[in-house]
Amino acid sequence: MDNFTLRPATETEFSQIQDLIRLVGINPTGLDWKRFIVIVNAEGGVLACGQIKPHGQEVRELASIAVTPEMQGRGLARRIIEHLLSSSPRPLHLMCRSGMGALYEKFGFRAIAYEEMPKYFQRMSKLAGLASILMHSGDSLLVMKLE
């Protein structure tokens, strides 16, 4: 049995969180160690992380869900997501690559149209669309909502 601990992040783990976010290639902005939940191994290494990121008073985002590549497929992301959802008010939004939508649907999220998005997500959607065109990427940005 693996010896992992799920708990709030500490300030000393912030550089590990930043490194993990960069390693998996997700949005590196808006990272505040005080909002993060981490899963660590017995040696204190951060294996997975996630946060609820506020955008003003009313809008919150499930964000920065990341798992080290060697630990992917072992349920760590699910544990982080379930923990964050258990204590977060609704509605809750998220942004992900379109290929990840099915994962979040399992937790009750649904894709939303541009017109339903809060302004922050509309701006990000436009930027992602432009970046996708410039990079000839087949993946697009998906904005989802949990009521």
Mean pLDDT (whole number) for 12-19: 98
Q: Which of 13-22, 94-103, 121-130, 137-146 has the highest mean pLDDT?
A: 13-22
Final residue in a domain of this structure, among 47, 63, 89: 89
What is the model's pLDDT at position 99?
86
Alpha-carbon separation of residue 144 from 2, 9, 112, 113, 122 (angstroms): 32, 25, 5, 9, 12
CB 53 within 8 A of CB 60: yes
Statement: residue 136 has pLDDT above 60: no
pLDDT tens, position by position, 79-129:
999 999 999 999 999 998 888 899 999 999 999 999 999 998 998 888 776
Last residue of some domain: 89, 110, 130?
89
| Strand, coil or helix: 50 | strand
- Distance between CA atoms of 58 and 11, rounded to whole angstroms? 26
CA distance 10 to 33: 7
Across the range 5-19, mean pLDDT stands at 98
Check if the beta carbon of residue 129 is closer than 8 Å to that of residue 140.
yes
Number of domains in the chain: 2
Question: Is the pLDDT score of 133 beyond 50?
Answer: no
CATH of the domain at 55: 3.40.630.30
Mean of per-residue pLDDT scores for the chain: 91
Q: How many CB atoms lie within 10 A of CB 21?
A: 19
Residue 27's pLDDT band (cuts 50, 70, 90): confident
pLDDT at 6 over 90: yes
Same domain assignment for residues 82 and 44:
yes
State how far the Cα of 145 lies from the Cα of 147, in Å rounded to an integer.
Answer: 6
